[in-house]
Amino acid sequence: MLDKATNTTDVETLMAEIGRKARAAAKPLAIATTEVKNAALLAMADAIEANAATILAANAEDMRRAEEADLSPALKDRLKLDESRLVGVAKGIREVAALADPVGDVIAAWDRPNGLEIERVRTPLGVIGVIYESRPNVTADAGALCLKAGNAVILRGGSDSIASTRAIHACLVEGLNSAELPAEAIQVVPVTDRAAVGEMLKGLGGNVDVIVPRGGKSLVARVQTEARVPVFAHLEGLCHVYVDKSADPEMARRLIVNSKMRRTGICGAAETLLLDTALDRDLKRALVTDLMAAGCEVRGDAGVQALAADVKPAQEADWSTEYLDAIISAREVDGIDGAIAHIDRYSSNHTEAVIAEDPAVVEKFFNEIDSAILLHNASTQFADGGEFGMGAEIGIATGKMHARGPVGVEQLTSFKYRVRGSGQTRP
Amino acid sequence: MLDKATNTTDVETLMAEIGRKARAAAKPLAIATTEVKNAALLAMADAIEANAATILAANAEDMRRAEEADLSPALKDRLKLDESRLVGVAKGIREVAALADPVGDVIAAWDRPNGLEIERVRTPLGVIGVIYESRPNVTADAGALCLKAGNAVILRGGSDSIASTRAIHACLVEGLNSAELPAEAIQVVPVTDRAAVGEMLKGLGGNVDVIVPRGGKSLVARVQTEARVPVFAHLEGLCHVYVDKSADPEMARRLIVNSKMRRTGICGAAETLLLDTALDRDLKRALVTDLMAAGCEVRGDAGVQALAADVKPAQEADWSTEYLDAIISAREVDGIDGAIAHIDRYSSNHTEAVIAEDPAVVEKFFNEIDSAILLHNASTQFADGGEFGMGAEIGIATGKMHARGPVGVEQLTSFKYRVRGSGQTRP
């Protein structure tokens, strides 16, 4: 049974109240010690394991509605929880507890000739709004990460997963209560009205500092277009791999299959292969046929089509398509300059890789391409906060303001200056 | 003679073109070497000195129009250039040339167990929009700072100073040309229509990355309300000084007069004095009478009114008024907790100072107050990028996203990740 606000004014009032409660909770959270925050996180993980039966029953209710609504198998898979997925959720929260606390960290410190001692110190951002779709585990992941960085969070999950979300949220609140942190530090929007999202995007009267959308392109596009507060997001991951004539052949073959085929549905999957015209022709053919042998459709320009019989012709739209599937676009380019020109034109500024042994080529690629993540001789599938050693991530950002690349606990902070004097006046 | 766009469509077209040119210029700028950027800056400073007569003649034209329009003496003073102010402008540009280049700076670096080497490296932000009022020197300051950080800039000065702005801009372009950097790296909006500002605030079709307003509260408020791109700004600097009962008496007397009276019109000037109720009564009286002796009007609560005859009664509005004048509001508070409660309620999150010898009081102040700059035993008038040793600043930001406190060349940058591998695929 879902609550429904009866009209727009109700939703506005409700959301404004949620915003005020989040802002009020943010204050004690900002000064909570690492020990208290970690105690809350560990209690949350315990509560999720202790209440597994309740959560799975709630999830079964969501799954029943999903069946009735005839959702796609992919959506149902995202929605589904089982014992092993729940163990993973609890483990994820414990990993966040194990991360270093960014709050209070001295980022930089220097002294002035007049004796002033200046420190730049990390502080929480304040209130984070997370808008997501059907994955119920986002409730726990996002709640835990925001708490670790000392932020209050307002979670707005999809209507498909509302019962699961509420059941998980109850466990998070149990953890907050046990550590005597305010229960409003992690709130779930209790209504499924689309208008609630609109209110969050307007910033709840200054009570939301940043919005993180988690979901498909249409959700992210809506958030980026309508939000009146900063957004940490990427619209798409149109990742390129450029193979230079100086590439190590065996390495190139391994990296390209992994970049495209390890998992095709993630934002770090390669979508376009750029082959140096000067690359050995047999190697070019091997790179393309390896992909096809692994089950990937290749859409190529004339040069790539000439390499193997099954290559389909690429259309202009292919260069700007994020397939998120076993399909890749491929073309020949005139060395590193041709690769940079193509990437400048079509990239989504997420992740690009260069496979080369020539250091001048690598430096040019690293200097001139302005994407969040640039990789040399490594798979694009490493574009991930966990793989970067940053612990869990709440998302990957392609904007250039504040956060860029994986958004982990550090990126969910701001900073302030602490200046220690001994009576200095300004002349 | 001012150019005028004849209608809104013209302004839209013109501004869109300026945005496209800025974005195109940003690319070569982002990869320009430190040497080339510094050569351009030094040539700009030389050109300003060499063309002093032309600039002063243009400024005389602006001043003539200011007389006709009967502008206030304060506005005319801001508008006015003379030989010595022009020397200051050239000197400021040379100081920016002497700053360390932030672009390419490795902010952080770490290795992963699988051998991946990760670096976080500073990059330019892209295109900065600066909207300012009558001070013609902002043209040179903002142009130089943005260039040093590898950003293109679109400058929109006030109509009062348009002739001076154009004359200075011509010198900046001379510097860009002499270093073979694109002339469009620093553009001045050639029309004075208010609609041009509106177009900039909408972001020129994705071609403005951040807006920096420089001017009075009404300009900043308009920019913060209307901008669809991030803004680096502070609406006001409602700075507090709290004097704890543990304060050194002589130090407190010096710091308070300096915090309020050194210059009353700057954002780092103190506006509210908070006196610990437990503070020695004679010291409280001295703090208040010192200010009055220095020519400051004091508006106090009942406790402060009881200290000296000339204290005027403070109204509720006084606690949230940024006087920018020789006026201060003053009240008694119940120790550090009372001070924090008052600051939480009324602060603009710019700068606050604590005068105390008790380290527990200082730590509480530093930990619990969430303003950009917190000072211990030092004047609030140190809230300035130059005083922080950050070189010139383009402004001070009170937002929590990206930049906070003084905005210098470092804060005008973003970053990217460079990852070096040796053939790693992701399992």
Pairing of strands B413-424, B117-124: antiparallel
Give the span between the Cα atoms of A90 and A84, in whole angstroms. Answer: 10
What pLDDT, in 10s, does the model give residues A258-293? 999 999 999 999 999 999 999 999 999 999 999 999
Q: Round to whole Å and give the CA distance between B207 and A195.
A: 30
Give chain A's count of helices (H) and strands (E): 14, 16
| Domain spans in chain A, listed from the N-terminal domain onward | 8-232+407-418, 239-387
- What integer is the mean pLDDT of A322-329? 96
Amino acid at B242: Y
Strand partners, B300: B313, B330
Q: How far apart are CA A29 and CA A23, in angstroms?
A: 10
Instruction: Report chain B residues whose CB lies below 8 A from the CB of A405.
Output: 416-417
Average pLDDT for chain A: 95
Q: What is the average per-residue pLDDT within A196-207?
A: 95
**Mean predicted confidence (pLDDT) in B400-423:** 94
Report whether pLDDT(B94) > 80. yes
Residue of A400, A413, A420 for testing the chain B interface, max B β-carbons within 10 Å = A400
Token pair recorded at residue B173 = 């372009």
Predicted pLDDT at A39: 98
Residue A189, amino acid: V
Q: Do A426 and B248 lie within an 8 Å CB cutoff? A: no
Residue B416 contacts A where some CB pair is shorter than 8 Å: yes
pLDDT digits (tens, 9 = 90+) for A122-169: 999 999 999 998 889 999 999 999 999 999 999 999 999 999 999 999
CA B239 to chain centre: 15
A202 in contact with B, Cβ within 8 Å:
no
Question: How far apart are the CA of A160 and the nearest CA of chain B, in angstroms?
Answer: 32
**Percentage with pLDDT > 90 across chain A:** 92
CB A137 within 8 A of CB A152: no
B422 to chain A, any CB pair closer than 8 A? The answer is yes
Q: Any CB–CB contact under 8 A between A20 and chain B?
A: no
Mean pLDDT computed over B146-153:
98
User: Does B390 contact A at CB distance below 8 Å?
Assistant: no
Contacts (Cβ under 8 Å, ≥6 apart) of B238: B271, B272, B320, B321, B322, B346, B347, B348, B350
pLDDT of residue A194: 87
How far the first Cα of chain A sits from its last, in Å, is 68
- 324-363 in B: which are within 8 Å (CB) of A? 344, 362
Given a cut of 70, whether residue A6 has pLDDT beyond it is no
Are A112 and B262 in contact (CB < 8 Å)? Answer: no
Asked if B425 and A262 come within 8 Å (Cβ–Cβ), the reply is: yes
Q: Which helix (H) or strand (E) holds B84?
A: helix B83-98
* CA-wise closest residue to B368 among A39, A33, A107: A33
Query: What CATH class has B239-387?
Result: alpha beta
Is A230 within 8 Å of chain B by CB? yes
Q: Distance of CA A89 to CAs A32, B120, B249, B387, Å?
A: 24, 30, 57, 48
Give the H or E element holding residue B181.
none
Flag if B382 and A116 touch (Cβ within 8 Å).
yes
Contact check, Cβ <8 Å, B368/A416: no
Decide if B102 touches A, using CB distance below 8 A. Answer: no
Q: In what order do the strands lie in the sheet with A152-156?
A: A186-188, A152-156, A127-132, A210-214
A209, A402, A425 member nearest B254 (Cβ) = A425
**What is the nearest CA distance from A246 to chain B, expressed in angstroms?**
14
- Tell if the CB–CB gap between A374 and B419 is shorter than 8 Å: yes
Q: Using CA atoms, how far apart are residues A113 and A118, in angstroms rounded to an integer?
A: 11
CA-CA distance, B180 to B174, in Å (whole number)? 10
Bridge partners, A274 (sequence order): A242, A331
Query: Residue with structure tokens 């904007």?
Result: A399
Give CA–CA dist A233/A71, Å, rounded. 26
A9 pLDDT above the threshold of 80 = no
Residues 203..222 of A with a Cβ closer than 8 Å to B: which?
A: 209-210
Task: Give the CATH fold of the A8-232+407-418 domain.
Answer: Aldehyde Dehydrogenase; Chain A, domain 1 (3.40.605)
Q: Are B426 and A379 a contacting pair at CB < 8 A?
A: yes
Select the residue of B110, B125, B419 nearest A375 (Cβ to Cβ).
B419
Q: Identify the band that residue A1 occupies on the pLDDT scale cut at 50, 70 and 90.
A: very low
User: How many residue contacts between A and B have a Cβ separation below 8 Å?
Assistant: 173
Predicted confidence band at B392 (pLDDT cuts at 50, 70, 90)?
confident
Chain A: residue whose CA lies nearest to B381: A426
User: A344 and B27 in contact by Cβ < 8 A?
Assistant: yes
Q: Do A416 and B405 touch (CB under 8 A)?
A: yes
- What pTM did the predictor assign? 0.92
Q: How far apart are CA B241 and CA B330, in angstroms?
A: 10
Residue/partner pairs of A315-321 with CB below 8 Å, 24 or more apart? A319/A272, A319/A345, A319/A346, A320/A238, A320/A346, A321/A238, A321/A271
User: Of A364-378, B368-382, B385-399, where does mean pLDDT reach its minimum?
Assistant: B385-399
Q: Is A368 on the interface with B (CB under 8 A)?
A: yes
Taking CA B418 as the corner, what is the angle to CA B416 and CA B420, rounded to the nearest 5 degrees?
170
Length of chain A: 427
What percent of chain B clears pLDDT 90, i.e. is strictly above it? 92
pLDDT at position A7 is: 64
CA distances from A85 to A81, A135, A280, A392, B177 (A): 6, 11, 46, 16, 61
Select from B203, B189, B228 the least CA-distant residue to B11: B189
CB contact set of A380 (below 8 Å; sequence gap of 6+): A239, A241, A259, A268, A269, A270, A351, A352, A353
As its CATH architecture, domain B8-232+407-417 has 3-Layer(aba) Sandwich (3.40)
Residues of chain B in contact with residue A422, where contact means CB-CB under 8 angstroms, are: 377-378
Rounded Cα gap, residues B301 and A184, in angstroms: 35
CA distance B195 to B8: 7
Whether B248 and chain A come into contact, CB under 8 Å, resolves to yes
Residue with tokens 């940043």: A210
Per-residue confidence (pLDDT) for residue B1, from 0 to 100:
35
Confirm or reject contact between A31 and chain B (CB < 8 A). Answer: yes
Judge whether residue B6 has pLDDT over 60: no
- Per the CB < 8 Å rule, is A414 touching B421? no
Q: Can you tell me the mean pLDDT for B316-344?
A: 97
B39 Cα to chain A: minimum distance (Å): 21
* Torsion sign over Cα A287, A293, A299, A304: positive
CA distances from A352 to A246, A267, A283 (A): 17, 12, 21
